[in-house]
């Protein structure tokens, strides 16, 4: 029989233990563990969730890697066309880990309204366009159907729809400049069939999604000419590697650019969240550990006579230390249990009820996103338990300094 575990269990279950002088300190120690695990879970879930959400929104508008012509055009407008007749299109078989490639074109224009003229970018897409991201962004109406050659359907952002007071079924004209000696703008009729809200205002303020055939007509391109290719990969962690591989497997006249290069400031900014998460975890474990050290020292002080009796009966210092470590482990596990219940409750409530909104102009999202994974929750609990127990080994050494004779006389 493991008598240390037996004695620890009896101490924990006794009524005197629950009403002793150390009870309030023990409760504070349990609360510190619980609060610490809640804060760490929220920090990890929201930090990773925010990183993924912002990254997915950038990918939705650009793909992971963009293939364009070599030119001096640094704007978001497609200037020099590319032929769709490429070895890598429509299936990029030369590089593994690519799940989709699509042909697009973009052009600056002006939305003409009776009262307002609004500058915007029309992103022309075709039948090969990946709508999976915009299905999640869709707040009203449906996605455009470009199966008809000159389809006038467009997907407009909620920001622009509210600003221009457009609703589903409304139509408007969009004006575009073109190479014309008379400087007469081209017109494209647009019919609103869907309204999206990505929460990324930098894009929502600018982009409409429409038929690429209209931009080909305005630019006087052939039907097989487009502005750029957008490539989607399976694993974002391989972004840089896949960018190099794609570059090596495209013609010398074409250039490739990853979203990490194109939106360097945004993606570098979200990397800072990792440092914040690590900082919060270290602080919370230190706070929880210090509280548990205090609770353990009080438990040892309260049970000084018992320690003296056990030593007189032949128990070793290691055995008695193990008894108190068992006792402290119970308190840590109790704190972890309550912390997980509260933490997961808050995270699931945020995930499904969106309790905590964020300013999209600052964070690029409308509410705090959460990433819930069984893996990091288990790792966090095991890590907290192990680190707290390791921190308790040092103060438990005080037991070796307690004399049996003096301990039994201790009041």
Q: Is residue 337 part of a domain?
A: yes
pLDDT band at 20 (very low <50, low <70, confident <90, very high): low
pLDDT at 32: 92
Q: Are residues 288 and 332 in the same domain?
A: yes
Q: Are residues 50 and 145 in the same domain?
A: no
Q: Over the stretch 158-205, which tens digit does the pLDDT of each residue have?
A: 999 999 999 999 999 999 987 666 667 888 999 999 999 998 888 999
Q: Are residues 38 and 123 in the same domain?
A: no
Q: Are residues 154 and 213 in the same domain?
A: yes
Sign of the Cα pseudo-torsion (261, 263, 265, 267, in order): negative
8 A C-beta contact, residue 371 and residue 52: yes
Task: Say which DSSP state 237 is in.
Answer: G
8 A C-beta contact, residue 164 and residue 216: no
Q: Per the structure, how many domains does the chain have? A: 2
Q: Over the stretch 27-75, which tens digit does the pLDDT of each residue have?
A: 888 999 999 999 999 999 999 999 999 999 999 999 999 999 887 566 6
Sign of the Cα pseudo-torsion (131, 132, 133, 137, in order): positive
Q: Is residue 230 part of a domain?
A: yes
Q: Are residues 92 and 200 in the same domain?
A: yes
Percent of the chain with pLDDT over 70: 93
Q: Are residues 98 and 237 in the same domain?
A: yes
* Last-in-domain residue among 252, 278, 301: 252
Q: Over the stretch 353-365, which tens digit does the pLDDT of each residue have?
A: 988 888 887 888 8
Sign of the Cα pseudo-torsion (60, 66, 67, 69, in order): positive
pLDDT at 365: 83
Query: What is the residue range of 178's domain?
Result: 71-252
Q: Are residues 276 and 241 in the same domain?
A: no
Q: Are residues 245 and 320 in the same domain?
A: no
* Last-in-domain residue among 219, 252, 285: 252
Q: Are residues 247 and 383 in the same domain?
A: no
Token reading at 43: 């920090």
pLDDT, averaged across the chain: 88
Reference 240, options 255, 264, 259; nearest CA is 259
pTM: 0.83
Q: Is residue 61 part of a domain?
A: no
* Last-in-domain residue among 208, 226, 252: 252
pLDDT at 228: 93
pLDDT at 19: 61
Q: Is residue 65 part of a domain?
A: no
């Amino acid at each position: 029989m493991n008598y240390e575990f037996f004695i620890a269990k009896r101490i924990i279950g006794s009524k005197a233990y629950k009403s002793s002088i150390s009870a309030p300190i023990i409760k504070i120690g349990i609360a510190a563990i619980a609060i610490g695990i809640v804060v760490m879970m929220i920090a990890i879930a929201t930090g990773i969730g925010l990183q993924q959400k912002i990254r997915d929104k950038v990918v939705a508008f650009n793909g992971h890697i963009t293939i364009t012509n070599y030119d001096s055009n640094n704007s978001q407008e497609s200037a020099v066309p590319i032929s769709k007749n490429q070895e890598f299109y429509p299936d990029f078989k030369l590089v593994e880990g690519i799940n989709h490639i699509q042909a697009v074109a973009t052009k600056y224009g002006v939305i003409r309204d009776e009262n307002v003229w609004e500058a915007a970018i029309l992103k022309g897409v075709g039948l090969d366009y990946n709508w999976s991201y915009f299905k999640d962004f869709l707040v009203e109406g449906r996605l455009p159907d470009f199966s008809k050659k000159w389809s006038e359907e467009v997907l407009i952002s909620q920001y622009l729809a509210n600003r221009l007071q457009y609703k589903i079924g409304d139509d408007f004209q969009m004006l575009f400049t073109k190479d014309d000696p008379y400087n007469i703008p081209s017109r494209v009729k647009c019919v609103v069939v869907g309204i999206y809200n990505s929460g990324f205002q930098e894009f929502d303020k600018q982009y409409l999604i429409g038929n690429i055939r209209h931009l080909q007509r305005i630019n006087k391109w052939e039907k097989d000419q487009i502005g750029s290719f957008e490539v989607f990969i399976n694993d974002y962690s391989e972004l840089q590697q896949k960018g190099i591989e794609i570059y090596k497997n495209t013609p010398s006249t074409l250039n490739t650019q990853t979203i990490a290069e194109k939106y360097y400031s945004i993606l570098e900014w979200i990397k800072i969240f990792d440092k914040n998460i690590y900082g919060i975890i270290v602080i919370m474990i230190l706070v929880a550990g210090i509280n548990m050290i205090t609770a353990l020292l009080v438990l040892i002080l309260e049970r000084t006579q018992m320690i003296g009796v056990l030593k007189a009966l032949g128990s070793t210092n290691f055995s008695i230390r193990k008894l108190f470590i068992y006792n402290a482990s119970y308190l840590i596990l109790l704190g972890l249990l309550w912390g997980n219940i509260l933490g997961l409750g808050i995270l699931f409530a945020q995930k499904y009820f969106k309790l905590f909104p964020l300013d999209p102009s600052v964070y690029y999202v409308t509410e705090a996103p959460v990433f819930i994974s069984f893996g990091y929750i288990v790792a966090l609990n095991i890590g907290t338990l192990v680190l707290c127990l390791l921190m308790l080994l040092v103060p438990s050494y005080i037991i070796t300094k307690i004399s049996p004779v003096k301990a039994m006389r201790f009041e």
